Amino acid sequence: INTPQSGKVAVVIGGGAGHEPAFWGYVGAGLADAAVVGNTFASPPPDPIIAATRAVQGAAGVLYIYGNFSGDVMNFDMAAEIMEAEGVRVRSVITTDDIASSPRETRSARRGVAGTTGAAADLMLPLNEVERMARHANARTYTMGLALEPCSLPETRQPSFELGPDDMEIGVGVHGEPGVERRNMETADTCADLLLDRILE
């Protein structure tokens, strides 16, 4: 958590654990002021979000940035309502960059993995402008995952999908959701070209 600065919009990000170094790794100069992390692949509850907001806000407003997952949306929205009742101005930007999770026609339904930014707040810009710049960054951020092994959660120790030793899963989700295509294992160069071609489309 950064020390609150008078006149600076505070940027609070968060999501589930298991994505390290996100989200706590994005706290620092030009980045976020606080990161709130829940259990593995689970949203942080409202109370820690509220505590982090109180710790970093410096009377210029707060911007929440988080991925497009139902738990994150619900809990950050609840925290925002409580903070606004205390007189803190809160805006939210939901990241929607994972191109494998939804076609471009329904961009707002995409999962959020990246696109978190805090540089505009460091320039001491007002809340409206910090929010606008965060939305601008999100609209121009595109990601796609590729997995060589399935994910397994600590509590179940079961793979989220089956994948052969010579296969790779294209478009896998950040929580181990199955992808959109399965192929035989390729070289790193071929994989990079494959993902980049789809992102550039």
Catalytically annotated residues: 19, 175
Round to whole Å and give the CA distance between 128 and 111: 24
CB 164 within 8 A of CB 9: no
Query: Long-range CB contacts (< 8 A, 24+ apart) of 47-52?
Result: 49/12, 49/14, 49/75, 49/76, 49/79, 50/79, 50/82, 50/83, 52/1, 52/12, 52/14
**Tokens at residue 62, please?**
């707060």
In this structure, which amino acid lies at residue 31?
L
